[in-house]
Amino acid sequence: MKKPIRLGLIGCGGIVQITHARAYRALTDTVQITALADVVPENLQKIGDMFDVPTENRYADYREMLAHAALDVVTIATPHSLHAEQVIEAANAGVAVISEKPMATNLEEADAILAAVRQNDVPYTVVHNYIFTAGMRVAMTELDALGKPHFGRSTGMGLKPTDFSADHPTPAFAWRASKAKGGGCIIDTSYHEIYSVCTLMQSPVRYVEARVQTMHLDIDVDDIAMLLCEHENGGITTVAGAWCVPGTDSGWCEMHAENGSLRVNHRHNVADALRRFTRAEGWKQLELPEFDEAERTDASGHARYFRETFNALAAGAAVPVSPEMAYHNLAIIEAARKATTERRAIEILSPSEQRS
Ligand SMILES: NC(=O)c1ccc[n+]([C@@H]2O[C@H](COP(=O)([O-])OP(=O)(O)OC[C@H]3O[C@@H](n4cnc5c(N)ncnc54)[C@H](O)[C@@H]3O)[C@@H](O)[C@H]2O)c1
């Protein structure tokens, strides 16, 4: 039998304790959590005790972990401003990296990440979990039959607390509201809506118009993001995100094509995860037959994302979310910010077009 992948965790906070932990528990044959790093001792202890990680393998400094623990892969789940530095250090230590979104806070950092993972020849991927939800995976099997997509729209709305202070009882709110930590609505929340709608449109974005602004909350990052994107296949999409409006229907994503439409509800129960419209049938709720119970009820998609990613790493195969996909998502976000300040459409060039 093959030995399990030796996994180190950098960051043991909210998303790891709730969602990643559930995914790891379902993967005990494939993955063994070998070492942990976090600057908050309580978080280190919580995850360490949950996965029986020996105390000598629990580190306050992730660099110490990389230097001393025998690891094959690390997952990074820390505030956004730390991702680039931590991915690069891990790549230089020769381990594969699974990073939570976003890849980095800007494209300059993203370029440095790509250079480091190429130079060290280590696999690298970013968590785009929404395309692994049951609804989205079935939606992707419908795309061919629906023909050429012309219009997509995607929304994620909600109310964040107005108290974003650094001593907020939930520190995850404090860093998300800080420019220095790489926070903001577009890069934190709308991030998912952007790659979701791009997936259904089956085409990269070429031009972005946007307003990414601070409308309501007393913070130094955006709390609202409205994007109008033109895709390379000529399709148009809108993405709407907000931290300052009541979220009546949470997050969803639609795609309208020549032969019909799809609507995927994110963060939703399975009962209404996916609907399809055709002229013959009207709107119809689709069954999600190919999923076992654990994955059908995995609203965030993390369980399936981690399973497919670790299986790919174990087999030496390509990871399902490529670095290029994560880079493109960040390029759209950077273009949206630029479109806001310059009040014009911004063209997105691929890295190879930028070089030429
Ligand atoms: N894919 C998703 O659906 C999803 C959902 C939530 C969060 N996330 C992502 O996960 C990441 C973490 O978010 P969160 O909600 O868990 O935040 P969090 O604040 O709850 O957790 C962050 C953790 O990082 C630790 N940390 C901070 N500095 C560190 C350092 N230098 N070294 C090691 N650990 C350090 C903190 O102590 C904390 O335990 C972010 O990138 C976020 O965007 C993704």
Which structure tokens are listed for 289? 């037959």
Cα separation, 116 vs 118, whole angstroms: 5
Which of helix, strand or coil describes residue 335?
helix
Cα separation, 314 vs 72, whole angstroms: 10
For residue 198, the model assigns a pLDDT of: 95
173 Cβ contact partners less than 8 Å away, ≥ 6 residues apart = 160, 161, 163, 164
Residue having the nearest C-alpha atom to atom 6 of ligand 1: 15
The pLDDT > 90 percentage for the chain reads 81
Q: Which domains are delineated in the chain?
A: 5-126 (3.40.50.720), 148-257+325-347 (3.30.360.10)
HEC secondary structure over 183-239: CCHHHHHHHHHHHHHHHHHCCCEEEEEEEEECCCCCCCCCCEEEEEEEECCCCEEEE
Cα four-point dihedral sign 304, 205, 210, 111: positive
Which structure tokens are listed for 20? 């990643």
Q: How many CB atoms lie within 10 A of CB 283?
A: 11
For residue 349, the model assigns a pLDDT of: 84
For residue 233, the model assigns a pLDDT of: 94
Q: For ligand 1, pick from 9, 15, 305 the residue to mutate: most ligand atoms within 8 Å of CB.
A: 15
Of ligand 1's atoms, which has the minimum distance to the CA of residue 175? 19
For residue 351, the model assigns a pLDDT of: 61
Strands 96-99 and 73-76: what pairing?
A: parallel
For residue 53, the model assigns a pLDDT of: 98
Which of helix, strand or coil describes residue 99?
strand
Cα separation, 160 vs 178, whole angstroms: 13
Residue having the nearest C-alpha atom to atom 7 of ligand 1: 15
For residue 267, the model assigns a pLDDT of: 66
Strands 274-278 and 346-347: what pairing?
A: unpaired
For residue 167, the model assigns a pLDDT of: 60
In the chain, the amino acid numbered 224 is I
Q: How many CB atoms lie within 10 A of CB 81?
A: 17
Residue having the nearest C-alpha atom to atom 39 of ligand 1: 13
Residue having the nearest C-alpha atom to atom 2 of ligand 1: 129
Of ligand 1's atoms, which has the minimum distance to the CA of residue 61? 32
How many A from CA of 207 to the centre of ligand 1? 31
3-state helix, strand, coil in the chain (%, to 5): 40, 25, 35
CB distance 16 to 77 below 8 Å: yes
Residue having the nearest C-alpha atom to atom 27 of ligand 1: 78
Cα separation, 144 vs 322, whole angstroms: 22
Which structure tokens are listed for 223? 């709390």
CB distance 333 to 208 below 8 Å: no
Cα separation, 244 vs 265, whole angstroms: 20
Q: For ligand 1, pick from 38, 300, 333 the residue to mutate: most ligand atoms within 8 Å of CB.
A: 38
Tokens 């220095």 found at: 180
How many A from CA of 114 to the centre of ligand 1? 21
Cα separation, 237 vs 231, whole angstroms: 8
Q: Ligand 1: residues within 6 Å at CB? A: 10-15, 37-40, 43, 62, 77-80, 82, 100-101, 127, 129, 171-172, 175, 188, 300
Residue spans of the chain under pLDDT 50 = none
CB distance 250 to 268 below 8 Å: yes
312 Cβ contact partners less than 8 Å away, ≥ 6 residues apart = 318, 319, 320
